[in-house]
């Protein structure tokens, strides 16, 4: 027997249930985020200036030989001074990462947004607000037993998102952050972050709903394996809210995989 068609009212009710689970209802309706993937229009002179800065940037030698011995202040300084790729020319400042340096939870995005670049912190702006709601949905809070970082520390120029060689160039900084934090759970937000953390480009659909192993894939010499769960980046969720249902399942999987229960952050 064929399934009965889902009415519009029933479909809307189910969507509201998902949004409530993510602590987004009715805020989601009020925010009215425009659904567009267009790059904001930028004056030609700004583009030309960014391109000129990129051409003038002196790309340094790869500064990663001793990275495994750096402590937090040394690592932050190394990133701050880094000019190892041309992305540095297009950003206002490097975006190192933020949060509890002994956190059990590490959330990793791809590269800094314009909001991140302006603030100097990952997950600023609307995507960051959504991430905060995602954290709250599993009883976590930014800065409390949570560390936030991106794979790439510079936002790049207006017309140039990070390329594979630039991601590879910057990844050792994140690897050292993970060595220092020793989190109990890594949540990779988006395909680029998952690819960098797993060391290989897998089909997106095969990444979701599973627990992966950061150590096994990346071979970074940690004493213990770290479980890794992949889900959608909050910026992508702003464009495709229906994927929040999958994100909720992934976050629950991560929460349930943790060796110790999550306590209320508040």
Query: Where on the chain is the footprint of ligand SF4 (CB under 6 A)?
Result: 79, 82-85, 87-88, 94, 152-154, 166, 169-170
Residue closer to ligand SF4, measured from CB, 23 or 171: 171
Closer residue to ligand SF4, CB minimum distance, 63 or 126? 63
Q: Which is nearer to ligand SF4, 19 or 170 (CB)?
A: 170
Minimum gap (Å) between residue 171 Cβ and ligand SF4: 9
Q: Shortest Cβ distance from residue 165 to ligand SF4 (Å)? A: 10
Query: In the sheet where 98-99 sits, what is the strand order?
Result: 98-99, 146-150, 105-109, 185-189, 227-231, 211-213
CB of 102 to ligand SF4, least distance (A): 23
Question: Which token pair is 150?
Answer: 């991106």
Angle between helices 8-21 and 244-257 (to 10 degrees): 40
The backbone region for 97, taken as left when phi is positive above 0, alpha when psi lies in -120 to 50, beta otherwise, is left
Q: How far is the CB of 187 from ligand SF4 (least distance, A)?
A: 21
Dist CA 44 CA 51 (whole Å): 11
For residues 50 and 154, which CB has a smaller minimum distance to ligand SF4 in the complex? 154
Distance CA(68)–CA(115), nearest Å, equals 30
The smaller minimum CB distance to ligand SF4, of residues 166 and 250, is found at 166
Reduced to 3 states (helix: H, G, I; strand: E, B; else coil), residue 132 is: helix
Q: Could you give the CA distance from residue 264 to residue 217 in angstroms, rounded to a whole number?
A: 32
φ/ψ of residue 155, rounded to 5: -80, -15
Q: How far is the CB of 158 from ligand SF4 (least distance, A)?
A: 15
Closer to ligand SF4 by CB, 83 or 243: give it. Answer: 83
Instruction: Give the span between the Cα atoms of 146 and 84, in whole angstroms.
Output: 28
Shortest reach from residue 54's CB to ligand SF4, in Å: 11
Least distance in angstroms from the C-beta of 33 to ligand SF4: 28
CA distance 50 to 89: 7
Contacting residues for 250 by C-beta, under 8 A, at least 6 apart: 187, 208, 209, 229, 230, 231, 232
Two tokens, residue 110: 């791809």
Q: Kindly tell me which of 83 and 161 has the beta carbon lying closer to ligand SF4.
A: 83
């Amino acid at each position: 027997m064929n399934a009965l068609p889902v009415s519009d009212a029933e479909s809307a009710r189910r969507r509201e249930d998902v949004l409530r689970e993510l602590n987004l209802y009715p805020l989601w309706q009020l925010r009215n985020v425009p659904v567009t993937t267009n790059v904001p229009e930028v004056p030609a002179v700004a583009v030309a200036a960014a391109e000129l800065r990129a051409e003038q940037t002196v790309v340094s030698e790869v500064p990663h030989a001793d990275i495994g011995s750096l402590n937090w202040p040394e690592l932050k300084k190394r990133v701050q001074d880094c000019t190892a790729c041309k992305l540095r020319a297009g950003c206002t400042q490097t975006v190192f990462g933020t949060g509890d340096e002994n956190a059990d939870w590490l959330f990793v995005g791809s590269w800094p947004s314009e909001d991140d670049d302006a603030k100097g912190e990952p997950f600023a702006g609307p995507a960051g607000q959504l991430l905060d709601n995602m954290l709250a949905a599993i009883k976590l809070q930014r800065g409390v037993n949570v560390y936030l970082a991106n794979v790439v520390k510079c936002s790049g120029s207006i017309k140039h998102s990070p390329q594979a060689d630039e991601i590879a160039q910057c990844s050792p900084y994140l690897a050292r952050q993970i060595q220092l934090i020793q989190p109990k759970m890594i949540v990779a937000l988006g395909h680029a972050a998952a690819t960098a953390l797993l060391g290989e480009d897998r089909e997106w659909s095969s990444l979701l709903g599973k627990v992966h192993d950061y150590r096994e894939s990346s071979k970074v010499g940690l004493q213990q394996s770290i479980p890794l769960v992949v889900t959608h980046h909050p910026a992508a969720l702003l464009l495709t809210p229906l994927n929040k249902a999958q994100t909720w399942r992934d976050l629950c999987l991560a929460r349930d995989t943790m060796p110790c229960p999550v306590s209320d952050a508040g």
